[in-house]
Amino acid sequence: MKLKFWGVRGSIPTTMSSENLMVKIQSIIERVKESDLKSQDSKQAFIMSLPEYLTSYVGGNTSCVQLALSDEEIFVFDAGTGLRELGKNLPKSVKKIHIFLSHFHWDHIQGFPFFDPIFNKNVEIHFYSPVEKMPELIAAQMRGPYFPVEFTTLGAKMIFHKISTESSFCVSQVYVRAREMTHPNTSYSYLFILPDGKRIIFATDIEIALSDFEYTDDRKVFFENADIMIADCQYLPVEYHAKEGWGHSSYCYMVDFANHWHVKHLYMFHHEPMYDDKKLYEIRDNAREYSKKVLKSPLKIDLAVEHQEIDV
Ligand SMILES: [Zn+2]
Ligand SMILES: [Zn+2]
């Protein structure tokens, strides 16, 4: 199965500024030597030698991740602005879309009105959330004068599933469990257990607390031994102390948390809109250093990068 990031930014969509682009171009020019330009191979080798922050763009769309189950069916974690591009790139063969919603803050639902499949009457869209008012909350953002097309006029068949956090449920041979987390207005994290036993956690917009480290059966079942955890790492430790109660985690605490529960691979997610690529890769390097050198942990750590595809 393939996991793909379509939106990784937190709070608000963020574009790369011209100034930022110029800084990247300048930094590349300063690095180039005459010998790098001698042949196609040397040019290619030069490009490959550049730091990742100069050759990639972490991305500006908000929360949206795709898990492709088959040619006909996909899971989507959150409906942030990344959902628009997901829709543009969706194969025509996909007829069933399951959207799992962490919560209803703008950055997690705003891509929905721009999602092409909502106009296709051959498509079924299933929504999952423990929130009772989910249909109303999804429809409200499309009401005039906020949006010109009313939810009730859409072509796709919409099915809402109000789920419980008390037990897991099965969707197309994947076991799913939702868990309430600390966040203003509440957010829900999801555990997905794939048919081959692989465990994926989607845990955005969560403020990790000391109590989240306590060993309870419930927590063990949910967090322990995840193969992949996509998790909120928005703040530096110093920022977290200034923004306690805002509902996001410092990347250091998230590294501690992932290690504590023996997660195998952490994808840092919900990136701070104020940070450019250089800063985000620096944070990733610090997280790796802390985990490897201080905690002596084998945990793999990567940034969630828009358009990046991962084999699961
Ligand atoms: Zn958010
Ligand atoms: Zn939020």
CATH code at position 242: 3.60.15.10
In the chain, how many domains are there?
1
pLDDT digits (tens, 9 = 90+) for 102-145: 999 999 999 999 999 999 999 999 999 999 999 999 999 999 99
Give the mean pLDDT of 6-14: 97
Q: Which residues, in sequence order, are bridge partners of residue 269?
A: 232
Give the whole-angstrom CA distance, residue 50 versus residue 63: 28
* CA 250 to ligand 2 centroid distance, Å: 15
How many Cα atoms occupy the beta-carbon half-sphere of 123 within 13 Å?
A: 23
What is the rounded CA–CA span in Å between residue 117 and residue 97?
Answer: 9
Question: Per-residue pLDDT tens for 169-221?
Answer: 999 999 999 999 999 999 999 999 999 999 999 999 999 999 999 999 999 99
243: in domain: yes
Q: Is the pTM of this model over 0.85?
A: yes
What are the pLDDT digits (tens) for 272-289?
A: 999 999 999 999 999 999
Ligand nearest to the CA of 186: 2
Residue 181 lies in a domain: yes
Contacts 24+ apart (CB under 8 A), 241-244: 244/207
Q: For residue 89, what are the domain limits? A: 2-16+59-306
Distance 126 CA to ligand 1 centre (A): 21
- Supply the pLDDT for residue 60: 98
Give the Å distance between the CA of 9 and the centre of ligand 2.
12
The Å distance, Cα 272 to ligand 1 centre, comes to 10
pLDDT digits (tens, 9 = 90+) for 72-109: 999 999 999 999 999 999 999 999 999 999 999 999 99
Report yes or no on 93 lying in a domain: yes
Determine, yes or no, domain membership for 311: no
Q: DSSP string of 176-214? A: EEEEEE-STT-EEEEEEE-TTS-EEEEE-S----GGGGS
Residue 105 CA to ligand 2 centre (angstroms):
5
Say whether the peptide bond before residue 145 is cis (omega within 30 degrees of 0).
Answer: yes
- The DSSP output letter for 307 is T
Angle between helices 251-260 and 277-289 (to 10 degrees): 40
Q: CB of 213 within 8 A of CB of 258?
A: no
Q: Name the pLDDT band for 259 (thresholds 50, 70, 90).
A: very high
Cα separation of 165 and 177, whole Å? 7
Helical segments of the chain, H only = 18-31, 40-49, 52-55, 82-88, 134-140, 217-223, 237-242, 251-260, 277-289
Calpha distance 119→112 (Å, rounded): 11
80 in any annotated domain? yes
Residue 117 covered by a domain: yes
Q: Tell me if 111 is assigned to some domain.
A: yes
**Residue 22 located in a structural domain:** no
